[in-house]
């Protein structure tokens, strides 16, 4: 039975860089492409990106997976983010530098969203 998990990362990105690109890179790493038919084949997931001052972008990734696949999902997230770039549909690349990537706990305010991922 799937369980909900959380992961967080901190990236350095140019002020004009697309903050949705790292989430798309995670989707590519987990699903093969950022555009795919549901459901996600390995782990339903959601990525939120928040830009702070100084070029940092904080990612919060919620995902649902079988407990024995948790580490595999986290490894794929880390690999996708460590690549530091994503080619866009028009040939432009969004680039970033990974500073931190680590496991986290599902926060109380994320519980209902995490439950929907796990059940859905």
Q: Give 95-110 pLDDT, tens digit per residue.
A: 999 999 999 999 999 9
Alpha-carbon torsion, ordered 71, 45, 36, 16, to 10 deg: -100
Please give the residue range of the domain that contains residue 98.
Answer: 3-119
Q: Give 53-97 pLDDT, tens digit per residue.
A: 778 999 999 999 999 999 999 999 999 999 999 987 777 889 999
Number of compact structural domains in the chain: 1
Alpha helices in 1-120 (DSSP H): 21-31, 70-82, 111-119
Q: Say which CATH number the domain at 99 has.
A: 3.30.70.260
Instruction: Tell me if the pTM is above 0.85.
Output: yes
pLDDT at 120: 72
């Amino acid at each position: 039975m799937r369980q909900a998990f959380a992961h967080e990362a901190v990236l350095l990105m140019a002020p004009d860089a697309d903050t949705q690109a790292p989430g798309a890179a995670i989707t590519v790493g987990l699903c093969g492409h950022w555009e795919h038919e549901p459901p996600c084949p390995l782990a339903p997931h959601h990525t939120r990106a928040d830009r702070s001052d100084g070029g940092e972008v904080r990612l919060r990734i919620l995902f649902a997976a079988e407990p024995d696949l948790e580490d595999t999902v986290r490894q794929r997230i880390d690999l996708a983010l460590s690549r530091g770039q994503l080619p866009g549909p028009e040939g432009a690349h969004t680039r970033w530098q990974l500073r931190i990537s680590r496991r986290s706990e599902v926060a109380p305010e994320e519980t209902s969203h995490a439950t929907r991922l796990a059940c859905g």
